[in-house]
Amino acid sequence: MNRRDFLRTAAIASFGLAARRLLPLDVGSTAEVGVVRSTNIEAAVQRAVELVGGIGRYVGRGDIVSVKPNIAFNSPPQYKATTDPVVVRTVVDLCFRAGASKVYVFDRTVSNPKLSYVTTGIEQAAEQAGAKVLYVDDVNSRLYKQILVRDGVYLKETLVNKYVLESDVFINLPVAKQHSTAGLTMGMKNLMGITGDNRSRWHWDLHEAISDINAAVPSNLTVVDATAIMTQRGPTGGSLSYLEDTDTIIASSGVAQADAEAATLFGKEPHELGYLRLAEQKGLGSIASYSRKEIAL
Amino acid sequence: MRPGILKRLKIGRIISQILFFTLFLFVFIRSLDPFAALENPFLRFDPLIFLTNPEANLLVIAVAAALVILAILLGRVFCGWICPLGSLIEALDFILSPLRKRNPVALQRYPGRKLLVRYPVSLLLLGTVLVTVFTQAPVLQFLHPNIWIIRIASTTAVGLVFLGLLLLFSLFSRRLWCTYLCPLGALYGLLARIPLFRLRISACSNCGRCERCPTDAANYRERDVMSHQCIVCFDYESQCPAEGFRYNLQRAGKQTGDAVPPPTPSRSGDGTRSPEPSSSSRRSFLKHGVQLVAGFAVGGLLTGIGFLRRRITTLLRPPGVVDEARFVENCLRCLQCVRSCPNQIIKITGVEHGFASLYTPHLEFRPYGCDYFCQVCQQVCPNRAIPLQTLVQKQTTPIGIARIDEKVCVVFKDKVNCLVCEEVCPVPEKAIHYVVSIETDEAGEPLREPSMVPEACIGCGICEARCPAEPVAIRVAI
């Protein structure tokens, strides 16, 4: 039994849930990355998902889907400190079109959740598309569940959002930003919003913590909002001058590969990022070689 | 006056009370939603509160003046028809009436009542308030009815104690607070002494039904309705068998022609005249004047007493407050900001910072800091003690300044990379930068040491709220 099978068994055993798509269908060198350059965000998201197999490959009829955008800060959408509401709306839309029975949208925010959800426009966008928006700032046993992190280096166990654990599909919707300690924050770092731990502490060994949580809780599909990337003073930003229009949407079945692709937009090599190097070691697939398709609309 | 008209006036009053109470609740509930915050109109537009903050705008002056004119024209209409606390008290009185009726020492049957009627404490309190509103001694703050009702609605401990007190009052008398204690009622009562539209007794069958007047204003023995106490509620007037109540214009210094002479105390004759009502009213006016002046003296005393003088506090005040002295003077201690702050970081100050700061709000940055885009406390502050700024002003007015304690910060102390403070700093240019050290952490990464840019810091405390060190290594102070 290899590590992955072990993890899968352990996950099914410990959650006792329908975890049939808890792990990505295919990761590693076979992962596909779809890159779409366009100013039309909605079309770009749809095409990017098509490039990685279409939404039907990830979401089945009757599935319960958890969507985790970056809603960390109470910051208006134009500053791009949070995921674009159009990206959220489009992805929720796609899930329902694929037959999802329920879609949950949430993030454990840094700022006040209500302020953040509303100001970023994500609450309205998600609800418009029919998703249920959850406030998950209150860490309690109704919302969070302790899981063991097998092979975890920094995290041995961690509290994880139950909706992520109990959904059939987990979709990661980060926004790409500069970040002093992590280097860049994209899909892998976005998973800090599913933990109930004191995540400020994670910064003391951030790269290990990020790669541990991603190895423990894989994202089935990652869609990176890189329509405009925050190149400095992240992750809060707060000035349009910190943004660079990149008009890019990246979709991938592998979170590490999505991040590797997004890193290049910042002019960085994926290996420069500690958590991406560790992700490769922890079995999240190669960050150097993956099949990619790119189109421009 | 025909009973029908008086009945309709009573129904009109109850509808008016329900409307204004609903308005109070509507504004209060709205102010709990950070995206719908409103200021409380019962505090924003108030003649007594206006005195504490004469910088108020034209609209405030206009409405406060309108309330004053209303009292001069029609009497204590505010108390009977508008005041939300008055309506609450009336509801409590109604609910507790069976208990009150069984209370052997209820005020109605208690001899001390006469003394209270003659010397209502409210005038003394009004006198005290009229002096202290111009100083830092918080007196009005603990006597104004509609500050109390916000504290009650906020379910703060002190508000619930006051509610308990009101419940207790209701066991003894109706409208006890309004009649004998409320300084706002006393102010409107003073204004109602100028005789214009007033309720009067013009005919009487000595049945004594109007003795049930909730504010002890109607006195059939002297054929008199004490206008400074009457809240024009029309509760019993329609039941007068002689249809003797009149609510109409009364000219100064002269009893209107149709007033019947009061009976002699023995009630034996009917033609004998009792002492002139005008002289008795002059006497009461004098007595009341003495009380008011005594109140001025108490106010002066309170202001003068050392313990009420301001102690310089090092408290962090809500965003936008730059003048501590002015803030302490203007703050109504209504605790609305405490209740409305979405981050729940505005806390109530106890006596440990001196009596002048009692119940003023201060900030404690856990679990959040003061949100960069939030102005809720400024929007709900009814007296603008927390100034209402533009968003840009709010984002650039310092609450304090953050300082890093290098003895506690893990980067300096434990050689661990962290930088949460830099990460969460919401100021676009970041008030916390980092310096790459020649030292490295365990993994061989160079240490990035946080470093303050004091001139950029606005003291929002988000860094303090998120600092993972124990104890917190970055703190905001004045």
pLDDT digits (tens, 9 = 90+) for A190-245: 999 999 999 899 999 999 999 999 999 999 999 999 999 999 998 999 999 999 99
- Work out the average pLDDT over B466-470: 94
Q: A205 vs chain B: nearest CA distance in angstroms?
A: 7
Q: Which residue has the higher pLDDT, B306 or B114?
A: B114
**Alpha-carbon gap: A238 to the closest alpha carbon of chain B (Å):** 5
Confirm or reject contact between B411 and chain A (CB < 8 A). Answer: no
Q: At what angle do helices A274-281 and A206-216 cross, to 10 degrees?
A: 40
pLDDT of residue B158: 92
CB contact under 8 A, A233 and B373: no
| DSSP character string of A113-175 | HHHHHHHTSHHHHHHHTTPEE----S--TTTEEEEE-TT-SS-SEEEEEHHHHHSSEEEEE-E
Of A111, A200, A274, the CB nearest to B420: A200
Is the pLDDT at B196 greater than 70? The verdict is yes
Instruction: Report the percent of chain A where pLDDT is more than 70.
Output: 90
Neighbours of B151 (CB within 10 A): 25
Model pLDDT, residue A2: 52
The nearest alpha carbon in chain A to B434 belongs to: A180
Instruction: Report the pLDDT value the prediction gives residue A48, as an integer from 0 to 100.
Output: 95
Q: What average pLDDT does range B237-250 have in this prediction?
A: 80
Do B385 and B39 form a contact (C-beta atoms < 8 A)?
Answer: no
Would you say residue A114 has pLDDT above 80? yes
Q: Which of B373, B420, B445 sits opposite A74 (nearest CB)?
A: B373
* pLDDT tens digits along A61-101: 999 999 999 999 999 999 999 999 999 999 999 999 999 99
How much is the pLDDT for B203? 83
* Overall average pLDDT of the A276-290 stretch: 92
Per-residue pLDDT tens digits for B66-107: 999 999 999 899 999 999 999 999 999 999 989 888 887 777
The predicted pLDDT at position B109 comes to 63
- In this predicted structure, the answer to whether residue B381 has a pLDDT above a threshold of 60 is yes
Write the DSSP assignment of B262-293 as a string of letters.
PPPTT---SSPPPSPHHHHHHHHHHHHHHHHH
**A244 beta partners:** A229
Contact across the interface for B434 and A238, Cβ inside 8 Å = no
End-to-end CA distance of chain A: 44
> Right CATH number for A3-24+38-296 from 3.40.50.11440, 3.40.50.150, 2.60.40.10, 3.30.70.890?
3.40.50.11440
Domains in chain B (CATH in brackets) are 3-265+275-300 (no CATH), 324-396 (3.30.70), 401-477 (3.30.70.20)
Q: Which residues of A touch B410 (CB under 8 A)?
A: 204
- Best of A111, A153, A202, A277 to substitute, by most chain B Cβ atoms within 10 angstroms, is A111
Decide if pLDDT at B254 tops 90: no
pLDDT at A13: 45
Q: What is the pLDDT of residue A12?
A: 47
Interface contacts A/B by beta carbons within 8 Å: 76
Q: Which residues of B390-403 are buried (b: 16+ CB within 10 A; e: fewer)?
A: eeeebbeebbbbbe
User: Any CB–CB contact under 8 A between B399 and chain A?
Assistant: no
Touching check for B430 and chain A: CB below 8 Å? yes
B372 and A74 in contact by Cβ < 8 A?
yes
Q: How far is A237 from chain B (nearest CA, A)?
A: 6
Of A73, A110, A180, the CB nearest to B448: A180
Distance CA B452, CA B432 (A): 5
Question: For all residues of chain B together, what is the average pLDDT?
Answer: 86
Contact A272, A263 (CB under 8 A): yes
Give B279's pLDDT tier (boundaries 50, 70, 90).
low
The Cα of B453 is separated from the nearest Cα of chain A by a number of Å equal to: 14
Distance, in Å, from the CA atom of B383 to the CA atom of B421, rounded to the nearest integer, reads 34
